[in-house]
Amino acid sequence: MSKRDYYEILEVSRTANDTEIKSSYRRLAMKFHPDRNPGDDLAEEKFKEAAEAYAILADPQKRSLYDRFGHAGVGSAAGGGAGFDPSVFAEFGDFADILGNMFGFGDLFGGGGRRRGGPQRGADLRYDLEISFEESARGAETSIQIPRHESCETCRGSGAAPGTSASTCSMCRGQGQVRSQQGFFTVARTCPQCRGAGKVITKPCETCRGAGRVAKERKLTVKIPAGISTGQQLRLQGEGESGAAGGPAGHLYVVVHVHEHEFFRRDGNNLFCEIPVNFTTVALGGEVQVPTLDGAETVKVPEGTQTGTTLRMRGKGMPDVNGRGRGDLFATVQVQTPKKLTREQRKVIEELAKALPKEKFEPRPRGGDDAQDERNLFDRVKDMFG
């Protein structure tokens, strides 16, 4: 499970100054503000995420803690949820300043029934899963252990001790916010008594201490489709954190990291490898064993094959993750020169050497300049086969 980096969220560099941070946040808050994106959950998440990041990075002390210790330093990883604490807004003068300028001061948080403390979707979780190259080629099923917050069974998520229920907050009369007059403006603030929930738990549930959610380790089975590659993610719907106040659960994103193979390199669905071939085999023509995902296969090497020649084996690459066939395997011939010769072998080769013409420089087959030598194998092979 990991949270996004605050600098990344605000789209600023680690060395950004306060003005840069503020203006970037202003821009994102405008873009993702719920009033501008009604019903758009993703925008809402981004809006909250940006607010959370700004609350930390705009505060020099919190920012330095974050720089040194990451999310752990500012306690944002604790408590689960979106890590979004509505009270941050209340304490956070600048925020009122920014949104006040944009949307009119009077109805900062109150408009559109966006009362905090209402149903909230649970946070998405991320799990980084490492798999072997073979598992990515064949597909696999694996079980993972996810620490997450789930609805408390004792109180069924209400946070109130069994047999009791939460009562309406007396201070805000259930509104979750209190309003006060300041000159011409009415300023809405999160209710300090219920912290925006609109309800007060008089007798908290003992299991979850009133939170309504408890930390649990959950074992889940993940099906990995064949052909998956590093960076691709699987979405397990509703397997994230449970929502607050009856909101839906978030999703679990399993981000896949595939180990490198000792022999194959992958590019798209194609595989590349180098095969050692004896110099006698390339000279005379013959057969070599090429390892594939389905085991070794015999491949014909034509007489007079040069080193660097690439043989294409159709359909022997990686399976397509969406089930659209398979890629190809490109095996590049590496001529092996014997390192040690017996006396007899040496004699035969000396005879051969006398009979062979001297090496001579030949013009490049495709014209080209020196830069072409620098190009890597992938590019050259792609050129060759389109």
Among 139, 128, 102, 124, which residue's Cα sits nearest to residue 27? 102
Selected range binding Zn ion among 55-63, 83-91, 100-108, 190-198, rule: CB under 5 A = 190-198
Rounded to a whole number of angstroms, the minimum distance from the CB of residue 206 to Zn ion is: 7
Place of tokens 């605050």: 6
Cα separation, 49 vs 118, in Å, equals 18
Q: Out of 146, 169, 201, 275, which residue is the one contacting Zn ion (CB under 5 A)? A: 169
Selected range binding Zn ion among 38-46, 152-160, 243-251, 378-386, rule: CB under 5 A = 152-160
Selected range binding Zn ion among 8-16, 56-64, 199-207, 217-225, rule: CB under 5 A = 199-207
Question: What is the distance of C-alpha 298 from the center of its chain?
Answer: 40
Q: Out of 82, 152, 222, 252, which residue is the one contacting Zn ion (CB under 5 A)? A: 152
Place of tokens 């000279």: 283
Contact 326, 294 (CB under 8 A): no
Question: What is the distance of C-alpha 30 from the center of its chain?
Answer: 26
Under the binding rule (CB under 5 A), the answer on residue 154 touching Zn ion is yes
> Which of residues 37 and 167 has its CB atom nearest to Zn ion in the complex?
167
Rounded to a whole number of angstroms, the minimum distance from the CB of residue 106 to Zn ion is: 20
Provide CB contacts within 8 A for 146, sequence distance 6+.
1, 125, 127, 217, 218, 219, 220, 239, 252
Under the binding rule (CB under 5 A), the answer on residue 74 touching Zn ion is no
Residues 246-305 that bind Zn ion (CB under 5 A): none
Cα separation, 369 vs 282, in Å, equals 27
Under the binding rule (CB under 5 A), the answer on residue 207 touching Zn ion is yes
Rounded to a whole number of angstroms, the minimum distance from the CB of residue 249 to Zn ion is: 17
> Which of residues 36 and 203 has its CB atom nearest to Zn ion in the complex?
203
Rounded to a whole number of angstroms, the minimum distance from the CB of residue 153 to Zn ion is: 8
> Which of residues 176 and 317 has its CB atom nearest to Zn ion in the complex?
176
The total of other beta-carbon atoms located within 10 Å of residue 374's CB is 8
Count the site residues for Zn ion by CB under 5 A.
12
> Which of residues 36 and 195 has its CB atom nearest to Zn ion in the complex?
195
Q: Out of 56, 88, 137, 191, which residue is the one contacting Zn ion (CB under 5 A)? A: 191
Under the binding rule (CB under 5 A), the answer on residue 55 touching Zn ion is no
Under the binding rule (CB under 5 A), the answer on residue 193 touching Zn ion is yes
Burial (CB < 10 A; 0-12, 13-18, 19+), residue 277, is: buried
Rounded to a whole number of angstroms, the minimum distance from the CB of residue 75 to Zn ion is: 22
Under the binding rule (CB under 5 A), the answer on residue 188 touching Zn ion is no
Phi, psi of 152 (to 5 degrees): -70, 130
Among 30, 36, 251, which residue's Cα sits nearest to residue 122? 251
Burial (CB < 10 A; 0-12, 13-18, 19+), residue 119, is: exposed
Binding site for Zn ion (CB under 5 A): 152, 154-155, 169, 171-172, 191, 193-194, 205, 207-208
